Structure 1
Amino acid sequence: MNAHQDEKLQMYHLVITICENHKSEWITNAVFAAIYNLWKLKIPMIEQYRDDQLSITSGIIANKLVIRNSMTEKAFFIANRIQSFANAGNDVELSRSVQYLHTDIKRARDNNVVGICNKIFEVAG
């Protein structure tokens, strides 16, 4: 749910509270009572859909983080091997082409991380 939908759900709960506190005012109105009771039954359904959506989203985010961490660790492993090879052959340009700090990649945006990893893999190829 987005923030607007979450605010609506909070409003629904507030309406339920107000209606329950003033039940004596509307209980004799059969039309309002019927519609209110039908509407009130939909709130748990909305909450269930929200919970389902949250579990799906959190699973996707967790999977994305696992994949990102795996990709960056492999890229660092390859970059370190390239730097070792470059240092053994005194190739300063090759060493600098894959010189990245671990924190730079961890803090980079997703698109930038992919670009950095692709550059490292191209140099390795």
Structure 2
Amino acid sequence: MGLIDGSPRSANVVASEACELMVLSKEAFQRCLQDNFQVAQKLMQILVRRLREADRNIESLALLDVYGRVARLLLDLAEEDGGQRIVKKKISKQDMARMIGASREMVSKVMRDLELSGYIVCENNQVIILGA
């Protein structure tokens, strides 16, 4: 985003597996957008999606308790598989806590409660959402 508005970057990332990176100067990036409408349009679509996600996260923080935020996160991360909703990507409780603005301990408690109540099953590093 800093390439667009000139502000310092707002986040850092760490690759979870080996990857290749491309370094692009601000001038080359701007030239690419000017010369390629489809690239500019795709970038706008990505930014709109991110804005909608941010709006939804703000709404969740304001209106949902931790149980609701954990449930919404699980549903957002889940994929359809054979008629079931499954969170296949392994995600730590610490990462979940960061994503929803809660403590790791509270996320662990909520996950345990959801499993004991029969809403989810945690097995083989996956979370199966029951009745979704």
- Scaled by the length of structure 1, what TM-score is found? 0.32
When Rg is computed on C-alpha atoms for both structures, the one with the higher figure is: 1
The structure with higher relative contact order (CA 8 Å, sep 6+) is 1
- Scaled by the length of structure 2, what TM-score is found? 0.30
The structure richer in strand per residue is: 2
The structure richer in helix per residue is: 1
